[in-house]
Structure 1
Amino acid sequence: MKYAVVTGTSKGLGASIAKLLMEASCHVIGIARNNNQSLTDAELPGTYSYYQADLSDLSQTENIFKSIIDDVKEKGDMESLLLVQNAALVTPIEQAGKQNTGQLVNHVHVNLLSPMIITNLWLDSFRDSNFPLVIANVTSGAANRSVYGWNAYGSTKAGLDRYTATVALEQDELNTGNKVFLFDPSIMDTEMQGEIRSADKTQFADVEKFKAYKTNNSLRDTDVVAQVLVDRLLDADNIKNGEYYSVKDIFK
Structure 2
Amino acid sequence: MDYYMITGASKGLGAALVEKLVNKDHVLYYISRTRNQSLHTLAKERNSTLRYKQCDLSDIEEAQHVCNQIFTEIDAKEVDSLTFINNAGMVNPIKHIGRILTEEMIANVQLNLLTPMLLTDLFIKKTSDWKVDKTIVNITSGAANRPVSGWSTYCSTKAGLNMFTQTAGVEQLEKESEVKVIGFSPGIMDTQMQSTIREATSEDFSSIDQFKDYHEKGLLRSSEYVADILLELLSKEVENGRIYDLREFL
TM range (shorter): over 0.9
Q: Which residue of 2 aligns with 1:12?
A: 12
SS at match of 2:173: helix
Query: What is aligned with 1:204?
Result: 205
1:151 CA drift (Å)? 0.2
Runs of 4+ in 1 over 6 A off after TM superposition: none
Q: CA deviation digits over 1:206-247, x for unaligned, max 9? A: 100000000000000100001111112233xx1111112121
**Which residue type is aligned with residue 145 of structure 2?**
N
Query: Which sections of structure 2, spanning at least 5 residues, go unmatched?
Result: none
Aligned equivalents of 1:24 and 1:7: distance in 2? 21
Q: Deviations over 1:39-69 (max 9, x none)?
A: 1111225331100000111111111111011
Distance 2:228 2:23 in 1: 11
1:48 and 1:213 map into 2 onto residues whose CA distance is 34
Code of the aligned partner of 2:40: T
Aligned partners of 2:138 and 2:24: how far apart in 1?
A: 20
Deviations along 1:105-136, one digit per CA (max 9) or x if unpaired, are 11111000001111111100100001131000
CA deviation profile, 1:128-171 (whole Å, cap 9, x unmatched): 00113100000000000000000000000000000000000110
Aligned residues: 248
State how far apart, in whole Å, the 1-side matches of 2:95 and 2:36 are.
30
Q: Which runs of 5+ in 1 are unaligned?
A: none
Question: AA paired with 2:19?
Answer: K
Give the 3-state SS of the residue equivalent to 2:22 in structure 1. Answer: helix
Query: Residue type of the partner of 1:67?
Result: Q
Counterparts of residues 206-225 of structure 1 (less than 5 Å): 206-225=207-226
Alpha carbons of 1:203 and 1:19: their partners in 2 closer, same or farther (altered >3 Å)?
same
* Percent identity of equivalent pairs: 38
Paired with 2:229 and 2:214, the residues of 1 have a C-alpha distance of 21
The aligned counterpart of 1:2 is: 2
Residue 2 of structure 1: how far off its partner (Å): 0.6
TM-score, structure 1 as length reference:
0.95
Q: Kindly report which structure 2 residues correspond to 1:11-30, keeping only aligned pairs within 5 A, or say none.
A: 11-23=11-23, 25-30=25-30
Secondary structure of the equivalent of 1:9?
coil
CA distance in 1, matches of 2:143, 2:165: 16
Residues 219 and 23 (structure 1), Cα distance of their counterparts in 2 relative to 1, 3 Å cut: farther
After TM superposition, the structure 1 stretch with the greater mean CA deviation from structure 2, 82-91 or 176-185, is 176-185
1-structure distance, mates of 2:172, 2:127: 13
Kept after mapping to 1: 8 A contact 2:9/2:30 = yes
